[in-house]
């Protein structure tokens, strides 16, 4: 019943404004009261920050519906709400229009068991399926801390690989809600690490004792002058203690065989986000541009400049057909990188589908992805009788059949008798099925053919683009 009531209110709002705009096309709309319901945890100031209008604004009647819809999308793009509806009511007495925002909040506190594999991704681990290389622990994830959109994450991981990570981020420090800051501290030690690439595969060294210890500390400030743009400035300190046995296996793992490489890095990150949703976008575009200077002081081991650009675009042709595309590129100044910093394609989201088992090292790369999709099951909602909480019993879900074509290249080509992929044009094609559900969860199953004619079935747990 709650879901039907929300859908009815949304339909009534669309009908009301369509009629109102036609009847009063020349009359502007003056924003009256803005009422917010359903925010049991989230402060009103956080919600009002995402709206495209404020109380007292005079809006052209022809733009009101678009501004309201964009405001709804802005709120849904926060990791705070499952559902958002915005309705309006005209006050004939003072000729203003009141808006009511109804929210269904997410569950914000999670304690996850940690079971992590030592490989780069699930598919690389599945190739061998060695359960002895699993680490375990707990991950405390507190979103919307104090109802102010603050983020507090704490992870402790024991077993094969060990790690302690703390992340705290406060998005707004000033009254205008444009400046924020955060701190990341990560300490870890590894019994196993990838130490060299042979035949385009990451080769691991393992030992009873720890092969390396690492510490990564970063402090950042973020300026978000409006809804869609953010500028992040970060200062980072990284240090490692590399064992003798690891350097004997690969002296280039650290430049000049340095056992304790350390460096400071300063970076700037620009984000422009015009997507309709963040977990699985169907419309809009996104740009991410990062520039970094590694080496700030004379004691820093490495010294170079780097830049990375990510472009993603999405288009919905109709209710069934969609298209997504992305272009990613990275450039690093002409220096000899240590092995552990020369990761190019094959890590995180930067890979050509069909080459999930391979890694390609190098300084520079480009990566192109194209993804047409058909909605097998359009965004729908399942209502469960139990539990009663709207945070869990109202489940959005959708299923998409996708085709894809990827291409990428790492350059310049490094002379190597063992590795054939650096400098080669990589191509991958295939079909996939994407399942999207609540709390930003995406599950992908894909069958692909790469440029070498190799086929494979792969599982992934985030949107491809």
pLDDT tens series, the chain, 465 aa: 444 444 444 444 444 444 444 445 568 899 999 999 999 999 999 999 999 999 999 999 889 999 999 999 999 999 999 899 999 998 877 789 999 999 999 999 989 887 776 565 566 666 665 656 677 788 999 999 999 999 999 999 887 788 999 999 999 999 999 999 999 999 999 988 889 999 999 998 988 889 999 999 999 999 999 999 999 999 999 999 999 999 999 999 998 778 999 999 999 999 999 999 988 999 999 999 999 999 999 888 899 999 999 999 999 999 899 999 999 999 999 998 999 999 999 998 999 999 999 999 999 999 999 999 999 999 888 888 787 776 777 888 999 999 999 999 999 887 677 899 999 999 999 999 999 997 788 999 999 999 999 999 999 989 999
Strand bridging mode 96-105 / 29-37: parallel
**What are the b/e assignments for 88-98, b being 16+ CB within 10 Å?**
beeeeeeebbe
pTM summary value: 0.86
H or E element that contains 345: strand 343-345
pLDDT of residue 12: 46
Phi, psi of 123 (to 5 degrees): -70, -40
Q: Residue 138 and residue 159: Cα distance in Å, rounded?
A: 12
Neighbours of 320 (CB within 10 A): 12
Instruction: Provide the token pair at 228.
Output: 């869609």
422 alpha-carbon distance from chain centroid: 27
Do 194 and 124 meet the contact criterion of CB atoms below 8 Å apart? Answer: no
Coil, strand or helix: which one is 24?
coil
> What is the spatial distance between Cα 21 and Cα 18, in angstroms, rounded to a whole number?
5
- Domains of the chain (ranges; CATH) run 2-105 (3.10.20.310), 109-460 (2.40.160.50)
Going by the DSSP 8-state scheme, the letter that residue 255 receives in this structure is G
Q: What angle do CA 136, 141, 147 make, to 5 degrees?
A: 170
Neighbours of 208 (CB within 10 A): 5
Q: What is the pLDDT of residue 92?
A: 77
């Amino acid at each position: 019943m709650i879901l039907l009531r929300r859908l009815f209110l949304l339909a009534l709002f669309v009908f009301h404004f369509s009629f109102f705009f036609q009847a009063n096309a020349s009359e502007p709309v003056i924003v009256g009261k803005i009422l917010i319901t359903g925010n049991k945890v989230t402060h009103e100031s956080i919600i009002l920050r995402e709206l495209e209008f404020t109380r007292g604004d005079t809006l052209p009647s022809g733009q009101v519906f678009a501004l309201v819809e964009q405001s709804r999308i802005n709120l849904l793009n926060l990791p705070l709400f499952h559902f958002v509806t915005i309705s309006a009511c005209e006050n004939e007495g003072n000729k203003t229009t009141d808006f009511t925002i109804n929210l269904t909040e997410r569950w914000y506190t999670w304690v996850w068991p940690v079971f992590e594999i030592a490989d780069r991704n699930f598919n690389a681990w599945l190739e061998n399926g060695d359960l002895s290389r699993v680490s375990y622990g707990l991950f405390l994830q507190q979103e919307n801390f104090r109802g102010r959109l603050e983020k507090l994450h704490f992870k402790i991981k024991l077993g094969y690989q060990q790690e302690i990570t703390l992340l705290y981020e406060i998005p707004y420090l000033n009254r205008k809600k444009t400046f924020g800051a955060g701190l990341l501290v990560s300490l870890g030690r590894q019994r196993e690490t990838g130490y060299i690439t042979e035949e385009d595969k990451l080769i691991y060294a393992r030992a009873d004792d720890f092969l390396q210890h690492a510490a990564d500390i970063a402090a950042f400030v973020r300026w978000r002058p409006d809804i869609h743009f953010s500028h992040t400035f970060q200062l980072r300190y990284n240090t490692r203690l590399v064992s003798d046995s690891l350097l004997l296996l690969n002296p280039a793992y650290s430049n000049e065989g340095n056992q304790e490489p350390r460096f400071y890095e300063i970076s700037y990150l620009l984000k422009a986000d015009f997507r309709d949703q963040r977990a699985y976008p169907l419309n809009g575009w996104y740009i991410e541009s990062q520039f970094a200077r590694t080496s700030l002081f004379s004691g820093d081991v490495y010294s170079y400049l780097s830049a990375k650009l990510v472009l993603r675009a999405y288009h919905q042709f109709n209710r069934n057909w969609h298209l997504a595309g992305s272009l990613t590129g990275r450039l690093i100044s002409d220096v000899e990188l240590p092995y552990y910093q020369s990761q190019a394609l094959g890590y995180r989201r930067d890979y050509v589908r069909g080459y999930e088992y391979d890694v390609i090292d190098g300084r520079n790369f480009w990566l192109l992805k194209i993804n047409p999709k058909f909605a097998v099951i359009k965004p729908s909602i399942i209502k469960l009788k139990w539990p009663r909480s709207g945070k869990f019993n109202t489940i959005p879900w959708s299923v998409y059949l996708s085709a894809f074509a990827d291409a990428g290249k790492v350059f310049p080509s490094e002379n190597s008798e063992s590795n054939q992929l650096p400098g080669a044009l990589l191509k991958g094609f295939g079909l996939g099925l994407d399942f999207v559900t609540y709390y930003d969860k995406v599950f992908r199953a894909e069958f692909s053919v790469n440029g070498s004619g190799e086929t494979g079935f792969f599982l992934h747990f985030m949107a491809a683009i």
